[in-house]
Chain A
Amino acid sequence: MSDITMPNVAAIERSRHGSSIGQPVTRREGHLKVTGQAGYAADYNPPGLLHAVMAVSGISRGRVTHLDVAAAEAHPGVVKVMTPANAPKLAKSPDDKDHGFMFRMNVLQNDSVRFANQPIAVVIAETLEAATEGVALLRPRYAEEPARIGLDGSAAFALQAVGAGAPAKGGIGDIEAGLAEAATRFEATYETPAQYHNPLEPHATVAEWDGDKLVLHTPSQGLTMAQGRIAGLFGIDPANILIKSPFLGGGFGAKGLFSGPQVLGIMAARFVGRPVKLVLRREQMFGPVGHRGETRQTLRLGADSTGGLTALEHNTLTTTSFYDDFFEPAGTTSRHLYASPAIATSHEGVRADIGTPIFMRAPGEAPGSAALECAIDELAVKAGMDPLDFRLRNYAEIEPITGKPFSSKALRQCYAQGAARFGWASRPRAPRQMRDDDGLLVGWGVGTATFPAMIFPSEARAVLRVDGSARVEIGAQDMGQGAWTSLAQIAADGLGVDYDKLDLEIGSSALPTGGIAGGSAGTATAGSAIHHAAADVIKKLAALATSDERSPLFGAGNSGVVPRDGRLVRQDDESRGESYASILARAGLAEIDGKGSAGPNPSMQESYAMHSHGAVFAEVKVDPDFGQIRVTRLVGAFAAGRIINPRMVRSQYYGGMIWGVGFALHEHAAADPRSGRLMNANLAEYHVPVNADVPLIEAILVEEHDPHVNVLGLKGVGEIGITGTVGAIANAVWHATGVRARAFPITLDTLLERPGDI
């Protein structure tokens, strides 16, 4: 045996940084997940459970005139059928809106049909199979009215607000004057389709009532909001509602706001007086739980003879439902990204017989940056400039409309590092210049990525125990992004304990409110509250030690001590300190706890513009005869402040960029133009990228220090990967083929239609 002992590199790394933050630790719950022990909502089977299946509408507009309830109830195993005729009345109309963040639901309060796949009944049975057959036996009949579908299905109207309440219009300067003085002008219209979130885990509820107390297992990206919504609808105290959501199989925004089908699951349990499980079928994910609305975006741009933008106009038309308002804020990207003396953005809405759209991963930025990045590229080409040089020429040193400085912005480094890694410098300017050995057309494109850095209100509790272990509690949610891990890293550092001694609890509404896991703000939101809770504990502990003359820290003053590896030490002399255990033991305490909260900081928001940035470079190959496209290489360089866990962050960037591949080339909901029904409402036909579509992908983590954005200096990483990627791919397709495809997804027939080709 060798007497050499290999060093424990991980431990050394950690001690060198004195920190868990920054370490690429693997997922804490990874083992549970790969061994099937991570319990998702639908895995929960309380005694006496019944199964509910929704019947959904086959028409897009009209009324249900008949349901064969008798046939369904006669089917063996069926317990009851819930229809508008007998469904429990709610304490509050699901059509009431107390505020803009409350969305209308279709939960069997009347017989109207407002979109295809709207729930029209719920069959509750002893088995899933019996409930499913009960639904088939209902054989609904309808009084159907003609469906109004798509961006031209009804009249456009002006809007006040888009997305989460951003103004529909925004700009600066005089567009017409800017265009008039431009040496190069460009105008084009881009279209993006309706897209449906489709997390792998469909919405599911297991609801158990006990009097007016409710225990609910359901995936949620915002537990406190869900609790409030349920309380309002059922007329009960929020404190009587316990929601458990420890693991989500993805959300992407579809699980951000409580949805109608989840309410139906709760109603069904009340209706039959037994625990009920309701899991959406895949096709039912296409309608009642939100989607990204279609957009048609028209951009007009001008540039002077040096390539400087003189005008940037971005007008968006987007669909919403006939019964509620949510508008894809596609134009907002143009308010932040490029410097121009004249910027104008506006949005108009169109109503259609569809379920109301909702936030979907990078709402606004995804379709908006797709169009903007294509238009910028087209203008660059027209102005005779390299597309990357053109972007650098129009680099925004301050946020163009507000004039605020950026809290940090390492976009230049993103461009530089991404371009170097990709090999951009050798790109020929003109299209159709590159072929591979097989004769396939090769093209390279670039796009700028951007996403705002946000934070939501949240609270956390932290506890240090005399045995040196610690615990942090917060009702945050892990959608799969790694919150179980990265929040524990933040907590361990805040408390100055080893990561392995830190016990984290998230995913329950019984915990302090964790805010929302959305807007790429989950880590900033929950992490900041955790950080403050930990600081509170340390402060209390320091007060105990520094005021006790038996402590080596006596007299150091509260602010003169810092936490280090389970000890408090003097800041001016780290060799002098005392362990938490001894401080607590002397004070006769088994543990000590603290609280913290976080939220937006209005004065910082006043002073700074806060965004993550990045640059994405794409290589595509196109078959010159068939128009089939494949992305063969993606390099993204992103700057998002402090990186808590590079492994998790990289995987968020990969996921975003892959989503961008799907946006550019695959994803679209195909509505029948007559009925409005979605004809590809399944994962065989609703295409997202598969492994073979993403052969080589790299994410570069560009260093960025942000002292302003929040206490941890971190920005969001979850959504930014989509932005930039879509445009980069479309621009690469042009560079390969010379064809500008302006409708997404770009399909092979678009390229076959090149004039003079066939």
Chain B
Amino acid sequence: MRPFAYDRPTTIADAVASGAQPETAFLGGGTNLLDLMKGNISRPARLVDVTRLPGLSTIEWLQDGGVRIGALVRNSDLAHDPRFANRFPSVAEALLSGASAQLRNAATAAGNVLQRTRCQYFYDAASVCNKRDPGTGCGAIGGLTRLHAVLGWSEHCIATHPSDFCVPLVALDAVVEIEGRAGRRDVPLEALHRLPGNTPERETVLEPGDVITAIRLPAEAAAYAGNARYLKVRERTSYAFAVVSAGAALRLDQGTIVSARLALGGVALKPWRARAAEDLLAGALPGATVFRDAAALALAEARPCGDNGFKIELARRIIVRALTLAAAGTPDRVPALPASPFALAPTQEVSAHV
């Protein structure tokens, strides 16, 4: 590893100042960053360890019914917080479907949101990569692209954002609280990650020194608690990133959808909010036809970037199933295999595509 300086600030102001120096990275749980450093993919000259910053490790319930998740709250603590899991069950289910128990114990909320892509070419120092080394080309295009993006990609980068946590969060209008050199600001999670365009190396709207201090979910998000699911298709039963995932949440009134929230994971370089599909669902009666129409709309602009065309149809089916499960109601407790197709409550509408 490249030798690096190590700062452990105890105030946010110091963290911002320290973090604004060149070639600097914030260190959360380190489960992503340290792997990248050991693989020589990230070579920071300075690590600013944020885990000792005061006041960022709590789940705070706001007056208006919303919640403020401190940036340092560990993934497992958040998922297992009974009140949180009760209000935001799809977020808890998404968290528990990610990584392994050990990793979730170490991973922080902010670190999860800011985890880097799992594009195999990004991780391979011997391959070119526009994100890692701007201007060198995209190693993935023309190579192994089975798991790459089908939405929002560019000819400069076809990677996906791998976080499960972000998918229901973005569906539920989460807001990211940031402290930076210019003070405090809020950024909707949907606007945090950038699509690659021709600057794939610029992954988020964060500026040097910007520390994520919290992630907020608004009170309205809790109104979906009774009908919210996360569903994740993967290549083994657990401990694998999503091939495609979906977070679906419905607000029902006397059997009619008042409003819907829908987002996809594993399809783009950001958690992908499907607003047009949400609009279509609002006011409809839940059912296979409208779910299929919503799925079609969500994927209307999708295109394969190589040998990953199957992900488009897969995403449609996952949307239909996630909406079906959400309509059936959130189970009392997170299933033993969270978000897995093998942990379904009995479903009515399992079709026969395979």
Contacts and interface: CB of A to CB of B under 8 A. Distances in A.
Interface of A: 58-59, 76, 116, 129, 132-133, 136, 283, 437-441, 621-628, 630, 665-666, 670, 672-675, 677, 679-680, 682, 684-685, 687, 689-693, 737, 739, 747-749, 751-754, 757-758
A32 B17 CA distance: 49
Nearest to A753: B310
Residue from B43, B318, B344 whose CB has the most chain A CB atoms within 10 Å = B344
Contacts of B142: 674
A672 B354 contact: no
A627 B142 CA distance: 26
A423 B200 CA distance: 55
B317 interface: yes
Interface residues of B, number: 49
Interface stretch (B22-30, B186-194, B236-244): B236-244
Interface string B283-321: 000000000000000000000000000100110011011
A752 B313 contact: yes
B350 A625 contact: yes
B344 A438 contact: yes
A340 to B, nearest CB: 34
B2 interface: yes
B352 interface: yes
B239 A439 contact: no
Given A136-B40, A437-B346, A758-B313, A624 B239 contact: no
Nearest to A441: B354
A626 B123 CA distance: 28
Contacts of B114: none
A752 B321 CA distance: 16
Residue from A58, A693, A748 whose CB has the most chain B CB atoms within 10 Å = A748
Contact of A624 (B238, B243, B354): B354
Nearest to B233: A626
A673 B314 contact: no
Contacts of B124: 677, 679
Contacts of A670: 120, 144
B210 to A, nearest CB: 28
Given A136-B2, A624-B351, A754-B354, 10 more contacts: A439-B347, A624-B352, A624-B353, A625-B318, A626-B317, A626-B354, A677-B126, A690-B239, A692-B237, A758-B353
B350 A693 contact: no
B353 A132 contact: no
A749 B310 contact: yes
A691 B238 contact: yes
Contacts of B276: none
Contact of B236 (A440, A627, A666): A666
Given A687-B240, A753-B310, A758-B313, A626 B341 contact: yes
A64 to B, nearest CB: 13
8 closest Cβ pairs, A-B complex: A58-B126, A439-B350, A692-B238, A692-B237, A679-B120, A623-B341, A749-B310, A625-B317
Contacts of B310: 749, 752-753
A679 B313 CA distance: 25
Nearest to B100: A690
B143 A679 contact: yes
Nearest to A661: B236
B183 interface: no
B317 A687 contact: no
Contact of A622 (B120, B235, B351, B354): B354
A138 to B, nearest CB: 11
B236 A679 contact: no
Nearest to B237: A692
Given A438-B344, A692-B337, A758-B313, A625 B236 contact: no
Given A58-B126, A693-B237, A625 B342 contact: no
A685 B118 CA distance: 9
Contacts of B275: none
Contacts of A132: 1, 38
B346 A438 contact: yes
A194 to B, nearest CB: 14
A625 B1 contact: no
A154 B263 CA distance: 46
B125 interface: yes
Interface in B72-129: 118, 120-121, 123-127
Contacts of A630: 237, 342
Contacts of A58: 125-126
B234 interface: yes
Contacts of A283: 39
Interface of B: 1-3, 38-40, 43, 118, 120-121, 123-127, 139, 142-144, 146, 233-240, 243, 310, 313-314, 317-318, 320-321, 337, 340-342, 344-347, 350-354
A687 B240 CA distance: 8
27 contacts: A58-B125, A136-B2, A438-B344, A438-B350, A439-B344, A439-B346, A623-B350, A626-B233, A626-B314, A626-B317, A626-B341, A626-B354, A627-B354, A628-B342, A672-B139, A673-B144, A675-B143, A679-B124, A679-B144, A682-B123, A690-B239, A692-B236, A692-B237, A737-B354, A747-B235, A749-B146, A757-B353
B238 A693 contact: yes
Contact of B143 (A623, A626, A672): A672
Contacts, number: 138
A693 B240 CA distance: 12
B244 to A, nearest CB: 9
A90 to B, nearest CB: 28
Contacts of B40: 136
A46 to B, nearest CB: 25
Nearest to A626: B233
Contact of B351 (A625, A691, A693): A625
A116 B125 CA distance: 13
A666 B318 CA distance: 22
Given A627-B354, A680-B120, A748-B243, A693 B144 contact: no
Nearest to A688: B236
Contacts of A437: 346
Contacts of B239: 690, 692
A437 to B, nearest CB: 5
Contacts of B38: 132
Nearest to A622: B354
A440 B340 CA distance: 12
B281 to A, nearest CB: 19
Nearest to B317: A625
A630 B236 CA distance: 8
A119 to B, nearest CB: 14
A627 B317 CA distance: 11
A437 B344 CA distance: 10
Contacts of A684: 118
A693 B2 contact: no
A439 B347 CA distance: 7
Contact of B234 (A621, A628, A677, A753): A628
Residue from B237, B340, B352 whose CB has the most chain A CB atoms within 10 Å = B237
A625 B344 contact: no
A672 B121 CA distance: 10
A666 B353 CA distance: 22
Contacts of A751: 354
Given A685-B120, A748-B243, A752-B313, A690 B238 contact: yes
Residue from A58, A438, A673 whose CB has the most chain B CB atoms within 10 Å = A438
A438 B347 CA distance: 5
A41 to B, nearest CB: 21
B350 A624 contact: yes
Nearest to B2: A133
Nearest to A751: B354
Given A136-B2, A438-B347, A628 B143 contact: no
Given A673-B143, A691-B238, A625 B2 contact: no
Contacts of A666: 235-236
B152 to A, nearest CB: 21
Nearest to B99: A684
A42 B235 CA distance: 33
A679 B121 contact: yes
